[in-house]
Every structure is written in C-alpha cells, then in structure tokens.
C-alpha cells in the first residue's frame, strides 16, 4: 500500500461570500453589491498547505453529489493531492459556508456541514503524519487517530472549532495545535499535558507561537510581515508543520518552518490561494536562525 507523508482527515466547504452595505435584519431583504465563491474547509486548506510545503498528501473527507463537490475534488486533485479517499455522499449537499460581509467588515456566517458530517475513517490511507481538525464528527477523528497510532504514525490535532475533547481522543494525540482562543476554551495547555498530550503548539497570530511540553516552554516570535488577510494562517501553519514532521524534522525546526508559512499566508487574500510554496517558506525560514 502506498505511504503518504501526510494524511489529512477533514472538511471541504464551498464558501459563498456576499458583500452588502449593511447586513439584513430578521425578515428583511437587502440588495447585495457582489457575490463570489471560494474553496475552503479546514481539511482542504490544510491539505493544500501540506502539499505546497512539499509533502505527498491524501485527503480523507466527504463531498455531496453536486457541482460544489465536483469543483472541490478538482481543486484538491489540481494540487496533486490524492483524492481516492474523498467520498461522494448521495443525497447530501457539499459543505457550505454562507458568508455576508458589510461595509464596516462585520459579518454573519452560516455553516452547513452537509456531507462533512458523514466523513468516515473506514479505509484510512497510511501516512507518516495524520492531521485532523474538528469540522467533521469527533468520533471520526477519534477513530482515525486510534488507527493511525496503531500503525505508528504521528497524529496532529488542530482543535478548531474548539470543542470538548474526549479522553479517548487526547490519549491518541501526539501534537495539539490550538490558537490562543482555542487553548483557553480547552482549559489551558496544562490540562492537555495532564491528559497525556506530549506536545502543544499554541499559535498566537502576530504574537508568534508557544511550544509547551514537559520541558520548559519556548516562545518563537512571528516573522515580521505586513498582513493583508489573516484567513488561512492557522491552516498554513498546521499543513506546513505536518509536512516537516513527516520529513523527520524535530518539533522546533518544524514549528520554525510552519511559522514562516503562517506569516506568508497573511500576505495574500483568501484561504486556499494564499497558501505558500516550499521555496518561499524556506527563504523566509532562513531569514532567522532556528531555535532549540
Ligand atoms: P488561526 O488562523 O488559527 O487563528 P493564528 O492567527 O494564530 O492562527 O496564525 C497561525 C500562525 O501564523 C501564527 O502562529 C504565526 O506564526 C503566523 N501568523 C499569523 N498572523 C501573523 C502575523 N500578523 N504576522 C506574522 N505571522 C503571523
């Protein structure tokens, strides 16, 4: 059986974005100024991030039998991502995020999980690193990590959106990568250490990254950039981190590379289009010595 560097178990969404002068109230209709569709979902974003960072990647997920599913499958395949384990669920819509943004930047978002809610780890492909997020059922992530650990893979959990994590899942996580809000909602890094997670990497946007293990914690500053859109920075970080862990880098070296990827992702708009490529990440990573 083929072994991938990184197996991503996660969501795929089509983001439908309308712009309007002001958001409608209940029962109200407003005329929008523009409309556009973007590929998204944390699973797809992180798969693209890992592939562009240099890894061979398989994406385990589910789309519906509609045009959005066909389109998202093509987006992944065009990035060289293996989609053999991307299921098509009859009678379900592909996941959608329906996003309205007003002139002041305020937004309202409805996420319809659709086929993502049917994601199953049934025949998990073999990967050195298996990475998942929480836009698919917790039971699926728990089962995927149990299988992955059983085969000796490294598991990376990005607990987004934050949700209470069952002990059975935490027991099979090697690395947990929350952002600063998610780590608080999970009760703090110490609680994760107590639950058996050995490595916690807290991303703090422009304030950098904390690496928390049983050894004293370490802080890495963010790479200095002029951000234009921070959407997808966390996904760039997780995908790039997974690709370097799969290549055998020690955690701190992988975090250094991932922080460079996260910084680069903020310099372009969008989530999928802003994912940086390996050579650019390496150039930024080399601008500063690795710590540790
Ligand atoms: P999320 O998108 O999940 O909230 P963060 O905003 O913490 O994740 O971003 C992930 C990582 O991307 C950060 O730890 C940092 O390395 C990098 N990053 C994000 N925002 C910036 C920024 N403004 N400047 C430099 N690096 C950034």
- For 95-125, write each residue's pLDDT tens digit: 999 999 999 988 898 999 999 999 998 889 9
From 262, 281, 284, 290, mutation site for ligand 1 pocket: most ligand atoms within 8 A of C-beta: 262
How many angstroms does the Cα of residue 68 sit away from the middle of ligand 1? 29
pLDDT recorded at residue 168: 94
The residue nearest atom 2 of ligand 1, judged by CA position, is 234
Low-confidence ranges of the chain (pLDDT < 50): none
pLDDT recorded at residue 292: 61
pLDDT recorded at residue 261: 98
Annotation marks residue 235 as catalytic: yes
This prediction's pTM: 0.96
How many angstroms does the Cα of residue 231 sit away from the middle of ligand 1? 9
E-assigned strand segments in the chain? 3-9, 13-20, 34-40, 57-64, 86-89, 95-102, 107-112, 126-133, 154-158, 175-176, 199-203, 209-212, 218-220
Instruction: Residue 185: name the closest of 126, 149, 134 by CA.
Output: 134
pLDDT recorded at residue 123: 84
Per-residue pLDDT of 39-85, as tens digits, reads 999 999 999 999 999 999 999 999 999 999 999 999 999 999 999 99
Check 66, 235, 249, 280 and give the catalytic one. 235
Residue ranges around ligand 1 (CB below 6 Å): 179, 203-206, 208-209, 222-223, 225, 227, 230, 233-234, 237, 259, 262-263, 266
pLDDT recorded at residue 257: 98
From 222, 261, 275, mutation site for ligand 1 pocket: most ligand atoms within 8 A of C-beta: 222
pLDDT recorded at residue 201: 98
pLDDT recorded at residue 213: 95
β-sheet with 13-20: strand ranges across? 34-40, 13-20, 95-102, 107-112
Q: How far apart are CA 53 and CA 74, in angstroms?
A: 19
How many angstroms does the Cα of residue 139 sit away from the middle of ligand 1? 28
- Rg (alpha carbons) of the chain, rounded to whole number: 18
How many angstroms does the Cα of residue 93 sit away from the middle of ligand 1? 31
């Amino acid at each position: 059986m083929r072994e991938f560097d990184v197996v991503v178990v996660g969501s795929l969404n089509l983001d439908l974005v309308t712009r309007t002068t002001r958001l409608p109230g209940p029962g109200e209709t407003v005329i929008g100024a523009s409309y556009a569709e973007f590929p998204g979902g944390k699973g797809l974003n992180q798969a693209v991030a890992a592939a562009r960072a240099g890894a061979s990647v398989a994406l385990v997920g589910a789309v519906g039998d509609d045009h959005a599913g066909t389109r998202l499958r093509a987006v992944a395949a065009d990035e060289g991502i293996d989609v053999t384990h991307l299921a098509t669920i009859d009678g379900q819509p592909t996941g959608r995020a329906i996003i309205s943004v007003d002139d002041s930047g305020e937004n309202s978002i409805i996420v319809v999980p659709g086929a993502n809610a049917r994601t199953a780890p049934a025949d998990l492909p073999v990967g050195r690193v298996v990475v998942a997020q929480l836009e698919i059922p917790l039971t699926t992530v728990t089962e995927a990590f149990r299988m992955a650990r059983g085969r000796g893979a490294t598991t990376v959990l990005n607990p987004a959106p934050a949700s209470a994590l069952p002990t059975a899942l935490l027991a099979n996580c090697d690395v947990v990568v929350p952002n600063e809000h998610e780590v608080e909602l999970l009760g703090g890094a110490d609680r994760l250490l107590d639950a058996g997670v050995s490595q916690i990497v807290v991303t703090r946007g422009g304030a950098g990254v904390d690496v928390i293990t049983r050894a004293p914690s370490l802080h890495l500053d963010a790479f200095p950039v002029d951000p234009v859109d921070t959407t997808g920075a966390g996904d760039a970080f997780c995908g790039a981190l997974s690709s370097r862990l799969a290549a055998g880098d020690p955690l701190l070296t992988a975090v250094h590379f991932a922080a460079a990827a996260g910084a680069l992702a903020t310099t372009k708009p969008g989530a999928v289009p802003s994912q940086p490529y390996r050579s650019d990440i390496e150039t930024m990573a080399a601008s500063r010595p690795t710590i540790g």
